[in-house]
C-alpha cells in the first residue's frame, strides 16, 4: 500500500515506525529528516497541494495527525476526493477546534466538566470576572498552539489577559471568544481512544509533562515527556470514565452526527468530586503517541483502517501489560528562542523518534524546539524510566536539554 502521514514531528515518526513494513511505501508530508519515509515538501495546510499529491501518487491511505489541518477540514476534502483517511472530519474536529463548542457539547450530554461561561464581548467578560472567585481559568476558544489557557489568580491579571486575547488578538481569531471556567484541583490524566463513530476503544492512560523544567517549573511546552499507564488512573477511575465520560461522549457524537473516525483524546482532571473533562483533542498527542504506540500489540494500520470503515467493533486493540516512559530532548531555550544547526551524535542502533531535525553535511542536526524523543518499556515504571535515561544519555547535542524527572513520582 501507499500510505502518507500528514505532519512533521515525533508523533508522526512514532506512527510511521508502527506501520512500517516491506509491503508498504511510506510518505510523510512534510515529514522530517529523521524519518524512514519519502518526505514531500508541502505544508500541512496546503490542501490543494496535498490533494494533488495524493492523486498523482495514488495514495491508498492517509493519516492526518496534526490539529490544524483536521480542524480546517483536510479529511473532508481528501475523502470527498476519494481517499481513505484516518482522522475526524471537520464536524468531529470541532471538539478540539472550539473549546466553547466542546463545553456546550459536554453540557448537552451531561458529561462532567468545570462550570464555565462563554463570552464574545470584552465588557461582559470583564464584568463576570469582577464577580468571580479566584483562581479562575481563562481559555481562548480556538487553536492556540497549546498556549491559549491561563490560570488566573486575580482580577488585574485576568483583565489584562482578556484584553490580550480579545483586543490585541494574541492568538488571532482564536481569542475573539473566550471561556472563563472554574479552576479544578487534582491529578491530570490523558486517555486516548480509537473511535469510528460507532465504537470507542480506549488505549492505556497516560500522564504528560508539559512544563519545560524539572518539578513542573518553567514555561508550557508541547510536551517534555510522558509515561503510560498513568499511575493515578486506577481501574475504579477507568470504570467511572467509561460510564460517565467515554460512553456519553460517543452517544453525543452519534446524536449530533459528528463524523469522528480517528483518535479522540480525553484530557481529564481526577478531582475529589469525580473525574472531569478538561478538554478534548481530535488527534494523538505528542509525546503521548511516542509513549503509547510502542506498547500497542495489535496492528495499528488495521485499527486505523477499521476506524475509517467504521469497523472498529471487530478490530482488536490490545496493549502489552508494561510501563512506558518517554523523554524528549529539546534545544536549550525552547519554548522560546534557541539555536539550530548543531550536529547530533547517537548510536545508530538507538530507537529514536525524530522531530525538529534536518540534514547537514555532518549528519542530522537540530532544527526545532523539540528535537527527538526516546521511549522505553519494561515491567515496571522504574525500569522503563531507568532505560530511557540510560539511552538518552548516549545522545549528544551541544545545546540539548531534557527533564530528568519524567516518571519520577
Ligand atoms: N478548569 C481547569 N482547572 C484547572 N486547570 C485547568 C483547567 N482547564 C485547564 N487547566 C490546565 O491548563 C492546561 C491546558 O488546558 P487545556 O484545556 O488542556 O488546553 P490546551 O491543551 O489546548 O492548552 C491543562 O492541562 C490544565 O493543566
Ligand atoms: Mg491540553
Residue 146 has pLDDT above 90, yes or no: no
Same domain, yes or no: 132 and 62: no
Residues paired with residue 82 on neighbouring β-strands, in sequence order:
none
**149-193 pLDDT tens trace:** 999 999 999 999 999 999 999 999 999 999 999 999 999 999 999
> For atom 2 of ligand 1, which residue has the closest CA?
183
Domain of residue 386, residue span: 323-401
Residue 17 domain-assigned (yes or no): yes
Is residue 76 within 8 A of residue 90, CB to CB? The reply is yes
Same domain, yes or no: 197 and 297: yes
- Which of 182, 205, 231 marks a domain boundary? 182
Atom of ligand 1 nearest to the CA of 144: 22
The answer to whether the CB of 180 is under 6 A from ligand 1 is no
Best of 149, 270, 277 to mutate for ligand 1, by most ligand atoms within 8 A of CB? 149
Same domain, yes or no: 305 and 286: yes
Nearest ligand to the C-alpha atom of residue 135? 1
Same domain, yes or no: 165 and 191: no
Cα–ligand 2 centroid distance for 95 (angstroms): 12
The predicted model gives 205-223 an average pLDDT of 95
pLDDT of residue 81: 98
Q: What is the CATH number of the domain that holds 134?
A: 3.30.1490.20
Residue 207 domain-assigned (yes or no): yes
- Which of 261, 286, 314 marks a domain boundary? 314
Same domain, yes or no: 195 and 306: yes
The predicted model gives 226-238 an average pLDDT of 98
Q: What is the CATH number of the domain that holds 52?
A: 3.40.50.20
Same domain, yes or no: 306 and 204: yes
Residue 101 domain-assigned (yes or no): no
Same domain, yes or no: 197 and 309: yes
Rg (CA), the chain: 21
281 membership: H or E segment, kind and range? strand 274-281
Same domain, yes or no: 334 and 300: no
The answer to whether the CB of 278 is under 6 A from ligand 1 is yes
Say how many CA atoms lie within 13 Å of 12 toward its Cβ: 29
Number of separate domains in the chain = 4
- DSSP, collapsed to helix, strand or coil, labels residue 388 as helix
CA angle 377, 378, 382 (to 5 degrees): 105
Residue 158 domain-assigned (yes or no): yes
**243-297 pLDDT tens trace:** 999 999 999 999 999 999 999 999 999 999 999 999 999 999 999 999 999 999 9
C-alpha distances (whole Å) from 35 to each of 28, 58, 69, 399 are 8, 21, 21, 22
Q: Return the C-alpha cell found at 98.
A: 472550539
Transcribe 65-90 into DSSP letters: -SHHHHHHTHHHHHHHTT--EES--H
Amino acid at each position: 500500500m501507499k500510505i502518507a502521514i500528514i505532519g512533521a514531528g515525533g508523533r508522526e515518526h512514532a506512527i510511521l515506525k508502527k506501520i512500517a513494513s516491506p509491503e508498504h511505501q511510506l510518505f510523510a508530508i512534510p515529514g522530517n529528516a529523521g524519518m524512514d519515509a519519502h518526505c514531500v515538501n508541502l505544508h500541512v495546510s496546503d490542501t490543494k497541494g496535498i490533494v494533488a499529491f495524493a492523486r498523482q501518487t495514488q495514495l491508498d491511505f492517509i493519516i492526518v495527525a496534526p490539529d490544524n489541518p483536521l480542524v480546517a477540514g483536510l479529511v473532508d476534502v481528501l475523502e470527498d476526493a476519494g481517499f481513505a483517511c484516518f482522522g475526524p472530519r471537520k464536524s468531529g474536529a470541532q471538539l478540539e477546534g472550539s473549546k466553547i463548542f466542546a463545553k456546550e457539547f459536554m453540557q448537552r450530554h451531561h458529561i462532567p466538566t468545570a462550570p464555565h461561561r462563554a463570552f464574545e464581548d470584552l465588557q461582559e467578560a470583564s464584568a463576570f470576572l469582577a464577580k468571580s472567585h479566584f483562581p479562575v481559568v481563562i481559555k481562548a476558544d480556538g487553536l492556540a498552539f497549546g498556549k491559549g489557557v491561563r490560570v488566573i489568580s486575580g482580577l488585574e491579571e485576568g483583565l489584562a489577559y482578556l484584553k490580550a486575547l480579545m483586543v490585541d488578538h494574541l492568538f488571532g481569531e482564536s481569542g475573539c471568544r473566550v471561556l472563563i471556567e472554574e479552576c479544578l484541583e487534582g491529578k491530570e490524566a490523558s486517555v486516548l481512544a480509537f473511535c469510528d463513530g460507532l465504537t470507542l476503544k480506549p488505549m492505556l492512560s497516560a500522564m504528560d509533562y508539559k512544563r519545560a523544567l524539572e518539578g513542573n517549573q518553567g514555561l508550557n511546552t508541547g510536551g517534555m515527556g510522558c509515561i503510560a499507564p498513568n499511575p493515578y488512573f486506577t481501574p475504579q477511575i477507568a470504570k467511572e470514565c467509561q460510564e460517565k465520560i467515554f460512553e456519553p461522549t460517543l452517544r453525543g457524537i452519534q446524536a449530533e452526527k459528528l463524523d469522528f473516525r480517528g483518535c479522540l483524546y480525553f484530557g481529564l482532571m481526577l478531582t475529589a468530586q469525580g473525574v472531569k473533562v478538561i478538554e478534548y483533542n481530535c488527534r494523538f498527542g505528542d509525546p503521548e503517541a511516542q509513549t503509547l504506540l510502542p506498547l500497542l500489540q495489535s496492528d495499528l494500520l488495521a485499527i486505523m483502517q477499521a476506524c475509517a470503515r467504521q469497523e472498529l467493533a471487530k478490530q482488536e486493540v490490545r496493549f502489552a501489560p508494561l510501563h512506558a516512559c518517554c523523554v524528549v530532548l529539546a534545544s536549550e531555550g525552547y519554548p522560546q528562542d534557541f539555536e539550530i544547526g548543531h550536529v547530533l551524535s547517537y548510536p545508530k542502533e538507538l530507537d529514536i523518534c525524530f522531530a525538529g531535525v534536518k540534514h547537514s553535511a555532518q549528519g542530522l542536526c537540530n532544527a526545532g524546539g523539540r528535537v527527538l524523543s526516546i521511549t522505553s518499556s519494561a515491567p515496571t515504571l522504574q525500569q522503563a524510566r531507568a532505560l530511557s535515561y540510560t539511552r538518552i544519555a548516549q545522545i549528544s547535542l551541544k545545546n540539548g536539554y531534557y527533564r530528568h524527572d519524567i516518571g519520577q513520582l
